[in-house]
Structure formats: structure tokens, C-alpha cells
Amino acid sequence: MSLPDDIRRHRLFWTWHRRIGIVAALLVLVLCVTGIALNHTEGLRLDQRFVTSAWLLDWYGIDLPEDGKSFAVASDRVSLFGDRLYFNDTPVDGLVDELVGAAQARDIIVAVVDGDALLITPQGELVERLGVESGMPPGVTAVGIGAGDQIVVRSLAGIYSADEELLSWAPAGLDESGIRWSQPESLPDGLRATLSRDYRGRILPLERVLLDLHSGRLFGGWGVWLMDAAAVLLIALAVTGGWLWFGRRAK
């Protein structure tokens, strides 16, 4: 005995209503969770927390620099990896384009980057950044140690030396043969592995991932359409739910 047409249509609508509800619930759950988290970005420090998952970093196309440069300073190292400066495995504040060299005088390490001299403690803390206003000569191409453990630099204007406080620079009038110039080296394998993990782990903030997940852009162009589909499914859920409710009330 076959069921009347109105009952069959009613059961069909209930079936599709449940299916639509399950799919929509999953997408709406993503929207709700990410939305709540994004509303509390400052409290959760989402802009200060970074993604370290290798597969997610690969998904975003975040690659490692092809090479790095390192200078030995006593038992320590000053290195440039990508656009980040490191003292041993500790990042130094700021982004850097070029590392010319590094040398140590007494208890301060001098690293010349982008035409400026950075004064760094043996603990890796940046003390000061000296530029042309401190008499730093333009076009520095090398850093070394001269007589009396003076910090000296080779520049387009000649060889300059720093005073005892490393606060000003003046022509040195020294013979290069007596200067121990710092020499660039490749990153040791162990240090390169450590810097690789740190470098990639400081690029992608968690806030960016949640924003992309909330909008669907995490999955590319079709991800946006997927979130649009969630809105359409909710509309369909409301329509079918209303039809079923009014249909039952009419009986």
C-alpha cells in the first residue's frame, strides 16, 4: 500500500531538512568559534601568537631563506638568516637587510648592519644603534679589531675606529695589516636547524589563520564559496523548517 503524495513529500522534506541541518551546523560551528576568538584578539594575544605547525606553514607557502651568513665572535656567533639577525640562537630586535660583520671589544659586541653599528651585550641584548649621527662612516664593508682591541671598520671614506665608549667614530690612520677583520662563514648545521624553526615560527600569526578560516580564504577561492554556501544552507534550513512547522499546524 503506497503512501499518499502529501505524506511522501513531508517525509522527503524531513530527510533533506536533517541533512541540510547537519552540514550547516558544521560550517556555522566554524564561523561561531572563529568569530568569538577574533572578537577577543587582544585578550587572547592572537596577533602575538605564531603558528609553528610545519604543514600549515607549507600550506601558506612560507619557505626558508636559501642561505645565511654568520660571524664568529669569541665563542658566540652573530648571524643573518633571511631578514632576521640572531645572537647565537636568540633573535635581535628589528629586521635587517645586510650584515657586514661583527667583532667584540671588552664586554660589548659590535655588529654592523645596514650601515649602522649595533651594540649587543654578551647576553644578546641590543643596547644601542649608532648611525651617521655618531660619526659612523658611510659604505662600511668590513669590521675588525685593531691595536689595543679597538673596533675598526673599513668604509668608502677609509678606516675608522671607535672610541672606548663605542659612541663615536674617527679616522684611524691604521695599516690594514695589523687589523683582524671578521670573516663571514656559512651557518653551522645545528645552528641553521635551530634558526630555521625559529624563523618560520615568527612569521604567521594565529590571528591571520583564524581570519582566513572564518572567511573561508584558508582554502583558496572555493573556500569563500563554501562559507557562502553555509549562509545559503541556513536560509534553506529556515525555509524547510518553516514549511514543516506550518504543515504540521495545518493538520
What's the pLDDT score for residue 164? 79
Report field, pTM of the whole predicted structure over 0.75? no
Q: How confident is the model at residue 234 (pLDDT cuts 50, 70, 90)?
A: confident
**Is residue 85 domain-shared with residue 190, that is, in the same domain?**
yes
Confirm whether 231 is domain-assigned: yes
In the predicted model, is pLDDT for residue 251 greater than 80?
no
- Say how many C-beta atoms besides its own lie within 10 A of residue 99's C-beta: 23
Whose grid coordinates read 660571524?
71
pLDDT tens for 78-117 read 999 999 999 999 999 888 899 999 998 878 899 999 888 8
Answer yes or no: are the C-beta atoms of 225 and 19 closer than 8 Å.
no
Domain membership of residue 55 (yes or no) is no
N- to C-terminal Cα separation, the chain: 22
pLDDT value, residue 1: 45
Distance of alpha carbon 10 from alpha carbon 169, whole angstroms: 89
Q: Which domain holds residue 9?
A: 5-49+205-250
Same domain, 129 and 175: yes
27 and 41 co-located in one domain? yes
154-180 pLDDT, tens digit each: 888 888 888 877 777 888 876 677 788
Asked if residue 129 is part of any domain, the answer here is yes
